[in-house]
Chains A and B, each alone.
Chain A
């Protein structure tokens, strides 16, 4: 069962997106509905199971930042466009793409991010902030040193400059702050329980009726296991 041990045993430096999210789900973090597909036919089958519109992503642990590599096809509304997107992704990838991730499409403008980092002095630290592709440009983020209390986690939500994004926005409901702090507390717990994990990005987290869902994630191992 153990996703982490298996990956380390095969010499991986990180979990791919699919595995990362499966791992996060074991700590109760809500993730997108998704499946791995290895052929055009599988893409069509999984997509209809999940329900259109879907997203297709190149899935490989070597691919850490898929957007930069242009290996994402968003908002595929039907089977025909899903099949076409599959072929485009395969032809775009330089290393032969073995599998793709078929994922539910969450239509939500607001993107948040959480993360885990091991500080040399303070140990595991949990991050919360604005997510999406501009994360590092805007850098509207806050940290807390693990273990977090629920009060710490609640404070983090209130501490970012863009806190208003958590309120109701363009007809969408406000974020469920309890659910969001659950995620931060889960990361705190991972930081304390999983010394083999060095860093985690969960970016973006999107909102479905105000409930946060991890749309993309990356779990990175320590090169020198503690």
Chain B
């Protein structure tokens, strides 16, 4: 397939909305509403021969009636009408179409024939299209929310292509809650024409995209994917969730090799060869996006751990060692520095255990000593933000007054503490910039707080050490790929 510049697909100046509807239960209404509510910067022209106006916008009987040049069209009509509409778009000079309509190859041979007809029409007209069976497209720069679910993504440097519309828009929705901002998204649908590899190429060259996410179930040409991704991975991280890992191989095998060649093993190999980062959950996709978009990469796989309490440190070390990370012992010079801050009985090891010290000062000082130590490439800061956002015990009237007073006081203290700007997190964010090392925080705080840590202090944090460890191991793996591919 030829290289194609998808700029006018993602950032069109003018759109025809073919199949626009006045019925709030139709996609032709919902998508139009999302575009209008999403503050699209260009012009939208609803097309529907049976309506005069929709949502206060003048409606046109066909695209040829629209008195303006059009960059892109969105089609939501029944499948059978699509080929003729593509021809019409071609005559109007439209070069990009998003086919939302379904009932194509996903439903069987008849749908596949119709899809082929759409492909042939598009080729004849020099049109490139997303879908069919797409859930839509989003671009922050043009404010384009041509999408079925009413999700309002946070704006940021992550772009995603997804062979599942649902999963993709869930990422945008969760991302908004967790602080992961998106630049572009496309639900690639059946990929009748434009494929994941085309979107990958476009995101690779896109200045607004720093991290690429993808949800993949299959590709037509695996070799092309590897070849393309291998070149892109050298300058932009590509994080992939592969769906259908448990599906068995494509055909009955005559050899032992064939019998053992499950889809997951081959995909794992392919992704790894191309330097792509494979995650196994949708949460992992988002977690990685957050760190890769906001933090520097570690130079290697050596990790310093700081913790408030033993067990937390122990499971973090386990996680590191199970995920190709190393937790090196502290050298004497680092121990000497820490001796001056910590109580006499501290364990003198990595993880550095603050032994339930409540004051903020030692945490900041120890963190700085670890960050400055050239023996580690990254730091996991457990309990960087102490405690939770609210006191879990309610006031009780029938209890003795001193107890009631104590509960009231504790509630106030915790609320006050939660609302204060956090000096540890503020410092942590500065240390990341000063030492160019990722310092990932782990905290019991709520999801919303994690987003605020990022926004207020540029601190990447997760609620569990396991999630932090996984992300860090993916970062270290990526560094290894970059180093080995530049050899």
Contact = CB atoms under 8 A, between A and B. Distances in A.
Interface string B237-280: 00000000000011101111111110001101110010000000
Contacts of A136: 256, 259-260
A142 B269 contact: yes
Interface in A128-163: 129, 135-136, 139, 141-145, 151-152
A120 B251 contact: yes
A186 interface: no
B359 interface: no
B273 A152 contact: yes
A1 B259 CA distance: 31
B335 interface: no
A122 B226 contact: yes
Interface residues of B, number: 26
A125 B220 contact: no
A115 interface: yes
Q: Is chain B's binding surface mostly helix, strand, loop or mixed?
A: helix
Interface in A95-145: 113, 115-117, 119-123, 125, 127, 129, 135-136, 139, 141-145
B123 to A, nearest CB: 24
B266 A145 contact: yes
A121 B256 contact: no
A25 to B, nearest CB: 19
B265 A142 contact: yes
Nearest to A114: B257
A201 B269 contact: no
Given A123-B222, A144-B273, A115 B254 contact: no
B260 A199 contact: no
B440 to A, nearest CB: 26
B257 A117 contact: yes
Interface residues of A, number: 32
A13 B265 CA distance: 26
B261 to A, nearest CB: 4
B311 to A, nearest CB: 28
A64 B259 CA distance: 14
Q: Tell me which of B219, B221, B269 has the highest count of chain A C-beta atoms within 10 A of its own C-beta.
A: B269
A145 B255 contact: no
Q: Tell me which of A121, A144, A200, A201 has the highest count of chain B C-beta atoms within 10 A of its own C-beta.
A: A121
A120 B270 CA distance: 13
B1 interface: no
A218 B256 CA distance: 10
A119 B218 CA distance: 12
A28 B259 CA distance: 26
B256 A122 contact: no
A123 B249 CA distance: 13
Q: Tell me which of B219, B220, B266, B484 has the highest count of chain A C-beta atoms within 10 A of its own C-beta.
A: B266
Contact of B273 (A64, A115, A145, A199): A145
B397 interface: no
Contacts of A59: none
Contacts of A151: 484
A14 interface: yes
A14 B253 CA distance: 13
A144 B255 contact: no
A120 B250 contact: yes
A211 B268 CA distance: 29
A145 B254 contact: no
A14 B257 contact: no
Interface string A7-23: 00000011000000000
Interface of B: 218-223, 226, 249-251, 253-261, 265-266, 268-270, 273, 484
11 contacts: A113-B256, A115-B255, A116-B257, A121-B218, A123-B222, A123-B223, A125-B266, A136-B259, A199-B253, A199-B254, A220-B254
- Counting from the closest, the 4 A-B pairs by CB-CB distance are A115-B257, A122-B222, A120-B250, A199-B255
